[in-house]
Amino acid sequence: MSAAGADTKTGTIDFRAEGEAGEYFKKLAFPMIIVLLLILLLGYAGWTYGFRFFIPRLMASSFFIAGMLIGAVLQLILLILFTRWRFYNHVLSRSMKANDKTLPEINRIATEAADRLAMRSPGVYVVQDPQINAYALGLRNKIIVLNTGLIDVATDDELTFIIGHELAHVKYGWSVPLKVLGLTIPLPLLLSSQHREYTCDRGGLIACRNLNAAILVLAKLALGKRLADKVDIDHMYRDKEEVERDRMSRVSEFVATHPPIKNRVYQLRQFYESDLYRKLAR
């Protein structure tokens, strides 16, 4: 998988994995097919009954249907925004922000990771939760949240990888770049993008610069610490044939929000051996 170039002289780096737009349109294929079928159905009805007979009745019913649909969509959008806003404030109310006085070591790791990704840390918060997990929150005021379950089982390098991964989510935002005639048009990231996860894994690796730590913490996310420590990290998913043999279902991989661990490990190894990584990690 290739990537865009880098310009460390200006303080900006681009390590985005290519393929986000292609994957995005593949996931939009099904709703686009539904819309196309509706257009064909309307065209057939107009051709069969005559457009002079059909169009006035269609317009009369369309206003009612459109009003119902618009109202339902607006309610859904408001509900989603309210739910996210409420969860955002819920996390803030029960977490502690890392700084030099409260959680100096986590603050140091986050600052170092952000420096390596040529960006500012948006603020890292720690919340009491036994689940091994971390995530980025917010639309305008973004934050990174670390569960105590993750902190309890991760080494400093592993934590740096996770924070770097979430920083990459913040860096590239919630949009997908579409290049048209030399112009880059940002499309809203309405659907999950597995290629975005590959990009963010790259950000984590650039931040921690320790491939084994990156792979091990991915294993911990999948298996927990006790079983992950028994995995042979050095020989885990080194070649593409091994990844393909371990593939259970292309459909499940396509609809999932995150790519399988095996794919993430393989892509990390590929990036680690690339010229781009060596240029960014020096």
Domains and CATH numbers, the chain: 15-49+94-281 (3.30.2010.10)
Q: What pLDDT was estimated at residue 143?
A: 93
Full-model pTM: 0.79
The two three-digit tokens of residue 90, written as one number: 């819920």
Per-residue pLDDT of the chain (282 residues; tens, 9 = 90+): 434 444 433 346 789 888 777 777 777 777 778 778 877 777 766 667 666 666 666 666 666 566 677 788 788 778 878 888 888 888 888 999 999 999 999 999 999 999 999 999 899 999 999 999 999 998 778 999 999 999 999 999 999 999 999 999 999 887 777 777 777 777 777 666 788 899 999 999 999 999 999 999 999 998 999 999 898 888 888 777 777 776 655 655 666 667 888 889 999 999 999 999 998 887
Q: What pLDDT was estimated at residue 46?
A: 64
| Neighbouring residues of 249: CB distance < 8 A, sequence distance ≥ 6 | none
Q: What pLDDT was estimated at residue 3?
A: 43
Q: What pLDDT was estimated at residue 253?
A: 60
